[in-house]
């Protein structure tokens, strides 16, 4: 799936309330931004995200405006007859700090879970293709512009015949002037403070719920080993990925050159 290097980063790719307004504007060549205003409640979002069946006002605004951005990006001159792939990208941090979750235990026993506070982490880059039910991923010891460039290169190589529209958040490494963007990838930035608009966030929730609840790791290498177990398992479950990420407003998008 991935091979180790001196930096021990690994790569993998498996197929398969207030008033809200929304406006799109280019922020750099090849990068577009979905900008919102009047939505201070977004800043209070928790770590868990709304169900894919629920829609906020911001989500409805993006649903309405995203087709306009796609129409501007999907020109015959750029697409060049290639199949259009829509991806949603995000990074997540996994480490040795235990995630306490409810669990079952035989009566009358009470479950006992050890706790851990060691602040050692590893990062996972992920990009889900909701319509195809596929996910590309990369494990890295760092999260910066260089690693983001490597991940974009990996995706470009993994899908050489596709013209890729990648929707992501506004992290500094996503809009750095030093970011190297392959020719077949275009970047579209989500509004700030809106993780509920990114289906990749639900993939992280699923991974944490299935592979990391109530687990204490003695070494960071054990965390990486668990990721190498859980990421391929999740990535090969195409129907589950589609169920998690192929939301109606995403499926309804027209992904063809104008």
Domains and CATH numbers, the chain: 10-43+55-100+114-251 (3.30.420.10)
Q: Provide the pLDDT for residue 258.
A: 78
Q: Provide the pLDDT for residue 17.
A: 36
Contact predicate 58/197, CB 8 Å: yes
Contact predicate 199/247, CB 8 Å: yes
Higher pLDDT, 193 or 44: 193
Residues 180-188 have a mean pLDDT of 97
Helix (H, G, I), strand (E, B) or coil at 189: strand
Residue 48, pLDDT above cutoff 80: no
Q: Provide the pLDDT for residue 3.
A: 37
Residues 171-192 have a mean pLDDT of 95
Q: Write down the pTM of the prediction.
A: 0.77
Residue 216 pLDDT level (bands cut at 50, 70, 90): confident
Q: Provide the pLDDT for residue 115.
A: 67
Specify whether the backbone of 8 is left (phi greater than 0), alpha (psi in -120 to 50) or beta: left
């Amino acid at each position: 799936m991935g091979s180790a290097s001196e930096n021990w980063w690994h790569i993998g790719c498996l197929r398969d309330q207030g008033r809200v307004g929304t406006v799109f504007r280019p922020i750099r060549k090849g990068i577009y931004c979905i900008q919102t205003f009047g939505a201070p409640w977004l800043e209070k979002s928790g770590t868990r995200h709304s169900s894919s069946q629920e829609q906020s006002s911001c989500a409805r605004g993006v649903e309405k405006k995203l087709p306009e951005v796609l129409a501007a990006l999907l020109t015959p001159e750029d697409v060049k007859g290639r199949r259009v792939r829509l991806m949603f990208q995000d990074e997540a941090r996994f480490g040795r700090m235990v995630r306490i979750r409810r669990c079952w235990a035989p009566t009358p026993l009470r479950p006992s879970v050890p706790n851990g506070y060691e602040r050692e982490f590893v990062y996972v880059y992920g990009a889900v293709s909701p319509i195809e039910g596929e996910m590309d991923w990369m494990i890295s010891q760092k999260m910066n512009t260089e690693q983001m460039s490597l991940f974009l290169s990996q995706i470009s190589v993994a899908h050489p015949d596709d013209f890729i529209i990648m929707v992501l958040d506004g992290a500094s490494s996503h809009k750095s002037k030093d970011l190297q963007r392959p020719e077949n990838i275009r970047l579209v930035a989500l509004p700030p403070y809106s993780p509920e608009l990114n289906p990749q966030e639900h993939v992280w929730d699923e991974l944490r719920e299935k592979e990391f609840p109530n687990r204490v790791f003695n070494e960071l290498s054990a965390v990486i080993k668990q990721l190498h177990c859980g990421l391929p398992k999740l990535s090969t479950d195409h129907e589950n990925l589609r169920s998690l990420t192929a939301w109606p407003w995403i499926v309804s998008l027209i992904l063809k050159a104008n």
